[in-house]
Chain A
């Protein structure tokens, strides 16, 4: 079955530690996204990538880093610089990245990060 797989689903981290969330898709989609979801707030865009070896900052990129070395993979690292990292993180992909393309986002099931 095609889809997006995020891992781990639950993660606990001590303050000062970096942690990497995995996102893998086998949909052959060009574009991939990372969102953060907090109670009472909409999904906020952290980073996005339209093509391999390219990525752009979203609205709340500070304290996060990403890489896009392979089309199917878009890992997110939450660094110790992120002041409030406890949140639910969602990865998504879209078939085409392009100027005039709106389309369906396909989401993973999410990763819940808790900083102790």
Chain B
């Protein structure tokens, strides 16, 4: 069935360094790839997304890249700060039974060390 693999499961970086989280999806028909940040007490929030007609998207310190041929997409966080510490989930949308479903990755726990 459809699945999304996400790596690494945990990532520790020094404050100011960059962090990269990678996801691979299986359904070549997927056309929308959001990234969510999950923080305790704040729920999960969309931080950036990309559609399949675009190869890269950037929003300040956060960027997402998409390689449709390889079915890879990655989250890049530059100049990391302690408040970036959280669990990050990638997802890929697939169309099934006339509607879109999101298949989520297994999550990456990012720790930014001050």
A interface residues with partner B (beta carbon < 8 Å): 4, 35, 40-45, 48, 50, 56, 58, 90, 97-99, 101-102, 104-105, 107-110
Contacts and interface: CB of A to CB of B under 8 A. Distances in A.
11 contacts: A40-B9, A56-B99, A90-B43, A98-B99, A99-B99, A102-B32, A102-B93, A104-B49, A105-B46, A105-B102, A109-B42
A34 to B, nearest CB: 13
Contacts, number: 54
B99 A50 contact: yes
Interface of B: 4, 6, 9, 31-32, 34, 36, 41-46, 49, 51, 89, 91, 93, 95, 97-107
Contacts of B105: 42
A42 B31 contact: no
B32 A109 contact: no
Contacts of B106: 40-42
Contacts of B31: 102
Nearest to B41: A109
Nearest to A58: B101
A35 B102 CA distance: 11
